Chains A and B, each alone.
Chain A
């Protein structure tokens, strides 16, 4: 019988430096038929590094047929520190996919609005890439992405190309601009007046620091966006990813099984601000 805790081996094919403390890893399972490749936008995996344990990471690229996927990782703890020290061709373990997906049916034909802060762009990227692959199925797309400084912006080249899509707007802002920065300064909420989607019918997806989510939701509710149409990707400490270890439990729900993507209506039921 399959042991759910047994990681499958994946090869680090490529490492892309995203910012001073973040890297994107392009991973390829040794087994081309591995179930991990059957993930959908919004799901996550448990990444295993022998000696450091396991930690959850959302897939940061849209599912495709080339047998590869990406994760973007900030160096914040012991496991991520060790991961950052690895090089191309090194081996890590993964298991999954776990968790729920973004509401892929519900978004069809709708205007979509993304608000990301810092590395919070990573969990939203699979969905954004997925939308652009099937562009005609969706309405207007607005993306607000805020970072601390210009050097902290992830996927710089790709984000530029997002702007080229039909009926799409990407807005960037930073807290601490440098000489090269000619764009907007301040928190993500300063960009809200520029958003041209119908608040009553569009869906919003947020991911970022707790404090950003809290203020952004407050502001967009004032603009008339509906609670049930606001989705947040939550981050929690996890040790198993399959509803056993208990760490990600919130009021009867497990972020790993019932999430990590929750509507704001659900979040309120769970008593989570962000």
Chain B
């Protein structure tokens, strides 16, 4: 059962943040950076975290769990193939993560811990605390978190969630880790009242789009059975210029490659983010590419989010953050694609 939401003032939230900072090695929070871009970064020592902010960060906190490049093994001796896994035991607090990105963390967790466990991803998750910050306003005109079942308020996958209201915040725990933080700091909280809950409910209504309820199981089936108009796929293929913006910003993209860097007999084995739109993504030694057509490459991005993951996790793995739409120079829109295939005008 869900724990009751508690009320916290802005001043007390600042105190809570101070306490949290003391208990972690990195306090990953939204910060205003160059050109006022909101970017997640470590604010443990510089105090530059934003307690609250409008919109969403340019890049999701995925960058801390599956970084662009990540050192996996120290190669102690290349000649003898001696590898030692690189540990990352840093205790991290992720503060102010939007519900769309929180849902993404939950999906990535299922993916990396499924069947074979990805130790490198797991070690970072184990020592992390996720504090969601629910949305009061729609962040971008193109975002559609509500359609994707991700926002404006997260339903799970967080340790703690902050929900802004006019007189401060409500806070709730979503895990044992979260509960113990609330318990330790119970002096900072007061009871919430019915008015607060009503305010949240009323505001959530702004996110609901009229007549827009997508049956994602049906949509997945249409994709699976190849019943999407060929022209729709062709159009996406034509528009994609392989800039890699979508796969870089998508909070649920997880593809990677592995490479070794040597300096003499010692070195590092690392992985780096890779992605399906790239022409060489499936190229084998010897040069054979099983799916040589470009339009099939970017199609995979859509199939994966809207069909494969619906089968695997009973939910699409597009969380409606709209970062890919915002960044695409060819104006490809997964939202429009969903609307078209689901028959919503």
A residues sitting closer than 8 Å to B (CB atoms) are 1-7, 9, 48-55, 74, 76-80, 91-93, 210, 235-237, 239-240, 242-252, 257, 272
With beta carbons under 8 angstroms apart, the residue of A79, A252, A257 that contacts B308 is: A252
A247 touches B282 (CB 8 A): yes
With beta carbons under 8 angstroms apart, the residue of A4, A48, A79 that contacts B118 is: A4
B85 touches A244 (CB 8 A): no
Chain A contact residues: over half helix, strand or loop, or mixed? loop
Q: A5-B120, A237-B283, A243-B116 are in contact. Are A49 and B300 (CB under 8 A)?
A: no
Cβ-based interface call for B311 (8 A): yes
Contacts of B118 in A (CB 8 A): 4-5, 242, 244
Contacts of B313 in A (CB 8 A): none
B284 touches A51 (CB 8 A): no
Contacts of A2 in B (CB 8 A): 119
Cβ-based interface call for B288 (8 A): yes
A50 touches B262 (CB 8 A): yes
A50 touches B78 (CB 8 A): yes
Q: A9-B82, A244-B112, A246-B255 are in contact. Are A3 and B119 (CB under 8 A)?
A: yes
Which residues of chain B in 254-300 are interfacial with respect to chain A, using CB atoms and an 8 Å cutoff? Answer: 254-260, 262, 267, 269, 271, 274-276, 281-286, 288, 290-291, 300
B81 touches A92 (CB 8 A): yes
Which residues of chain B in 227-255 are interfacial with respect to chain A, using CB atoms and an 8 Å cutoff? Answer: 254-255
Q: Report how far A235 CA is from B284 CA in the complex, Å.
A: 8
**How does the 8 Å CB contact mask read for B112-133 relative to A, with 1 for contact and 0 for none?**
1011111110000000000000
Central interface residue in A4, A51, A74, A239, by most chain B CB within 10 Å: A51
Cβ-based interface call for B80 (8 A): yes
Rounded to whole Å, the gap between the CB of A210 and the closest CB of chain B is: 7
A91 touches B80 (CB 8 A): yes
Contacts of B257 in A (CB 8 A): 239, 245, 247
Q: Report how far A49 CA is from B260 CA in the complex, Å.
A: 9
Q: Report how far A240 CA is from B256 CA in the complex, Å.
A: 9
B256 touches A244 (CB 8 A): yes
Cβ-based interface call for B79 (8 A): yes
For A47, give the chain B residue with the smallest CB separation.
Answer: B81
Given contact pairs A50-B78, A247-B281, enumerate 7 new A-B contacts (beta carbons under 8 Å). A4-B117, A4-B119, A5-B73, A5-B118, A6-B73, A252-B303, A252-B311
Cβ-based interface call for B75 (8 A): yes
A91 touches B79 (CB 8 A): yes
A242 touches B115 (CB 8 A): yes
Q: A51-B260, A237-B283 are in contact. Are A91 and B81 (CB under 8 A)?
A: yes
Q: How many residues of B contact A (CB 8 A)?
A: 50
Cβ-based interface call for B83 (8 A): yes
Q: A76-B286, A210-B288, A236-B290 are in contact. Are A53 and B260 (CB under 8 A)?
A: yes
B274 touches A246 (CB 8 A): yes
For A253, give the chain B residue with the smallest CB separation.
Answer: B308
Cβ-based interface call for B143 (8 A): no
Q: Which 3 A-B pairs have the closest CB atoms?
A: A77-B285, A246-B255, A50-B78
Contacts of B304 in A (CB 8 A): 249
Contacts of B262 in A (CB 8 A): 50-51
Q: Report how far A230 CA is from B118 CA in the complex, Å.
A: 34
Contacts of B311 in A (CB 8 A): 252
B255 touches A243 (CB 8 A): no
A50 touches B75 (CB 8 A): yes
Q: A49-B81, A51-B78 are in contact. Are A246 and B256 (CB under 8 A)?
A: yes
B254 touches A246 (CB 8 A): yes
Cβ-based interface call for B307 (8 A): yes
Cβ-based interface call for B224 (8 A): yes
A244 touches B260 (CB 8 A): no
For B121, give the chain A residue with the smallest CB separation.
Answer: A244
With beta carbons under 8 angstroms apart, the residue of B77, B112, B258 that contacts A54 is: B258
B260 touches A50 (CB 8 A): yes
Q: Report how far A227 CA is from B194 CA in the complex, Å.
A: 64
With beta carbons under 8 angstroms apart, the residue of A76, A240, A272 that contacts B258 is: A240
Central interface residue in A1, A53, A251, by most chain B CB within 10 Å: A251
Contacts of A237 in B (CB 8 A): 281-284
Rounded to whole Å, the gap between the CB of A93 and the closest CB of chain B is: 4
Q: Report how far A246 CA is from B250 CA in the complex, Å.
A: 15
A6 touches B83 (CB 8 A): yes
A50 touches B115 (CB 8 A): no
Rounded to whole Å, the gap between the CB of A9 and the closest CB of chain B is: 6
Contacts of B269 in A (CB 8 A): 50, 53
With beta carbons under 8 angstroms apart, the residue of B85, B276, B282, B290 that contacts A6 is: B85
Contacts of A249 in B (CB 8 A): 276, 300, 304
Contacts of B281 in A (CB 8 A): 237, 247
Rounded to whole Å, the gap between the CB of A79 and the closest CB of chain B is: 7
Rounded to whole Å, the gap between the CB of A108 and the closest CB of chain B is: 28
Which residues of chain B in 65-122 are interfacial with respect to chain A, using CB atoms and an 8 Å cutoff? Answer: 72-73, 75, 77-83, 85, 111-112, 114-120
| CB<8 Å pairs between A and B, sample of 30 | A1-B117, A2-B119, A3-B120, A5-B118, A6-B73, A9-B82, A50-B75, A50-B81, A52-B260, A53-B258, A53-B259, A53-B260, A76-B285, A91-B80, A210-B288, A237-B282, A237-B283, A237-B284, A240-B258, A242-B118, A244-B111, A245-B255, A245-B257, A245-B258, A245-B271, A247-B282, A248-B282, A249-B300, A251-B303, A272-B290
